[in-house]
Every structure is written in C-alpha cells, then in structure tokens.
Amino acid sequence: MPDAPGLELIRGEIEQDHPGAVLDTSFDRNQPALVVDPAQILAVLAWLRDAPGQGYDFLSSLHAADYLPAEPRFAIHYELLNRDRVERLRVKAMLGGPSAAGPVTAGDPPPPAVAKASSGVVPPTAPPAGEELPEIDSCAELFPTAEFQEREAYDFFGIAFRGHPDLTRILLPEDYVGWPLRRDFPIGGEPVTFTYNERAYG
C-alpha cells in the first residue's frame, strides 16, 4: 500500500485532473485513505482505476458507517486493490444526515420503508414520510462488485445510490420499516431461535 508521502503524491496527481476532488488524506493504523468530495467520487474512482501507474481496478469492499452525532454523519468506504502490486487503498466519501441530504432522483424507486408499512401504522423507528435520504452516485458501472454492496448499504443505512440498476433491499424484507444499522435505530427485537434455545422459544 502507498506510504504517507506516496498518498500525498497520488492526491497531487488527482488534483491536477480533478481540482478540489480530494478534501483530505489520512494514514491511520497504516491504512492510507483519500477523503473525497462526494460529488466527484466517480471521477476519482475512475482515475484510480485507469490512470497510468495506478491500476486500482478491483473494488474488494464497499461499506457504510454512521458517525452520529458527528456531521457529516455518514461515510461510504471504498476498498480498492491493485492486484499486480498487492496494494490496498481506501477512498472515503462523507455524506450529511437525512435532513441535509438531497432528494432521491425520479429514476430511483421510493424507499420501501417509506412506501410500505404492512400493519398500516408506521412505528416511530420509520423514517418520516418524504424523508430525503443521503445519496451518492453508484459506482456499479465502474466496479461490478459494487452492485450488491451498494444495495446492502441502502438496506441497512438508508443511503441511496443514484443510477444503481436495482436499488432495492437485499437482506431485509421489502416491507421492513427503518434502517437498522443507523446509530439512532432502537435496539431490541425478538429472540432468534438457535439449537440451544429451541425448546425455550419453540
């Protein structure tokens, strides 16, 4: 992976082609990261994939994080690999909370948690009707591995990915209400039946 000076060199090269795209760099626990303007995320990811001498052409992981009460609240982390050099580079885009987010575009499906509530009564854990979800451009066309990972981030954090080919829940039921990995989502639920408690919960 790039060392701290190497990370700054990458930042400088990106800035030549995309001024203002890299907001900051970090080198925490020997993990190099570029903090990128969300509006230019696709330009930076494409540059890291295609620019001569870079070759970060495999997206090994895309995941979200909720840093409530900090603002910007959400982050999308992109873990890129250069498999020839066996190098890893992290790209991070920070997004504001729901109140600071832009609207979901007309081509995107309505959030299932807002559109549906099987009981007809929306519990307090549901986002308010018409909530504007945090959103960022989908990178599924650049990196096919992102398609399911973006759906997972949407499913659990309520982050919309503009231009995603099928932005629907992937693990939770379509009529599930809320975004369970947000830090303000209430803790609770029903006991899960495992072998050791099968008799107790039937």
Domain 4-162 has CATH 3.30.460.80: yes
Q: Report the predicted TM-score, pTM, of the whole model to 2 decimal places.
A: 0.78
Pairing between strand 160-162 and 135-137? parallel
CA-CA distances (angstroms) from residue 70 to 8, 73, 187? 26, 5, 20
pLDDT for res 194: 62
What residue segments make up the domains of the chain, in order of their start? 4-162
Cβ contact 113:54 at 8 Å: no
Give 52-96 pLDDT, tens digit per residue: 999 999 999 999 999 999 999 999 999 999 999 989 999 999 999
pLDDT for res 126: 45
